[in-house]
C-alpha cells in the first residue's frame, strides 16, 4: 500500500484534479481523501478512474453518525461456533436501501439509513475460537448479499476497519471531530 498511494496520486494529478489520497488504513481500500471539491459523485468518478472500481465517498461526520448508530445495536443471540463481527455496508451506486434486509447464511442486517446498512457478519469459529478457514465468505460476500436484495453496488467493512480509517483522518485534521469521539476512536483503532 505504501507504493500504491503515490502511484494513485500521480494518476489523480494526470487527471488535473486537486483530489489526493492522504492516508490509508489496512489493505482493503480504506482511504482518507483530501479535496476542495464538494460534489461527491465527481470525486467518486475520479477515484473510480484511478482504481478501476466504483468508490463510495463519505464525509467524516456522516461516517461518525453511522458508526454511532451501529455501536448502539445489540449483538444477535449467541450461537455455538459463531462470532458476530459488526460492520457497515455503504451504498456506492444505485438505489438507496428502503427495505429491511432479511438475514442470510452469512449475516444479519439492520438499516442505519438509506445509504448505510449495519451488518453482523456470522464468522464461523473452531472449538478454540479461531476463525474457521472454510468460512462462507468475507466482507465482499456481504456486499454482494446486500447488492442482490437492494440493487446497485454496496461495499461492506468491519467496524474495526472503519474506526481505523476515521482515526487516520483524525490525525490529519483533528478539528473534524468532537473530543469524546476522538478518545473513543483512538482507543478502538489501536
Q: Which residues pair with 123 in a beta bridge?
A: 83
Question: Quick one: pLDDT at residue 93?
Answer: 93
Determine which of 50-54, 106-110, 177-181 has the lowest per-residue pLDDT on average.
177-181
Average the pLDDT over 45-60 and give the result: 91
136's CB contacts (< 8 A; 6+ apart) are 105, 106, 122, 124
136 CB neighbour count, 10 Å cutoff: 15
CB atoms within 10 A of CB 181: 17
Is the pLDDT confidence value at 156 over 80? yes
| Number of residues that this document lists for the chain | 190
Q: What is the mean pLDDT of the chain?
A: 85
Confidence at residue 72, expressed as pLDDT on a 0 to 100 scale: 96
Q: For residue 115, give the C-alpha cell.
A: 445509504
pLDDT digits (tens, 9 = 90+) for 71-94: 999 999 998 888 999 999 999 999
Q: Contact 104/136 with Cβ under 8 angstroms?
A: no
Query: What's the rounded Cα separation, in Å, for the pair 21 and 41?
Result: 16
Distance CA 144, CA 132 (A): 21
Share of the chain above pLDDT 70, in %: 87
Res. 186: pLDDT tops 70? no
| Domains of the chain, residue spans | 1-57, 62-160
Tell me what pLDDT residue 175 has: 63
Segment 110-144, tens digit of pLDDT: 999 999 999 999 998 877 777 766 666 789 999 99
- For residue 105, count other CB atoms closer than 10 A to its CB: 9
- Please name which of 121, 170, 85 lies closest in space to residue 187, comparing C-alpha atoms: 170
Whose cell is 489526493? That residue is 20
The pLDDT of residue 113: 95
Amino acid at each position: 500500500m505504501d507504493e500504491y498511494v503515490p502511484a494513485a496520486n500521480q494518476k489523480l494529478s494526470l487527471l488535473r484534479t486537486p483530489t489526493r489520497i492522504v492516508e490509508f488504513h489496512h489493505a482493503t481500500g480504506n482511504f482518507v481523501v483530501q479535496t476542495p471539491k464538494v460534489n461527491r459523485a465527481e470525486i467518486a468518478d475520479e477515484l473510480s478512474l484511478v482504481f478501476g472500481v466504483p468508490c463510495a465517498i463519505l464525509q467524516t461526520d456522516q461516517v461518525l453518525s453511522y458508526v454511532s448508530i451501529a455501536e448502539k445495536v445489540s449483538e444477535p443471540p449467541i450461537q455455538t461456533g459463531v462470532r458476530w463481527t459488526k460492520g457497515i455496508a455503504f451504498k456506492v451506486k444505485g438505489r438507496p436501501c428502503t427495505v429491511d434486509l432479511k438475514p442470510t447464511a452469512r449475516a444479519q442486517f439492520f438499516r442505519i439509513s438509506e445509504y448505510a446498512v449495519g451488518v453482523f457478519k456470522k464468522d464461523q469459529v473452531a472449538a478454540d475460537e479461531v476463525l474457521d478457514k472454510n468460512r462462507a465468505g468475507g466482507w465482499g460476500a456481504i456486499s454482494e448479499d446486500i447488492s442482490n436484495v437492494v440493487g446497485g453496488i454496496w461495499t461492506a467493512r468491519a467496524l474495526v476497519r472503519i474506526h481505523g480509517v476515521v482515526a487516520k483522518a483524525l490525525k490529519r485534521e483533528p478539528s473534524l471531530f468532537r473530543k469524546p469521539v476522538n478518545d473513543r476512536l483512538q482507543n478502538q483503532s489501536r
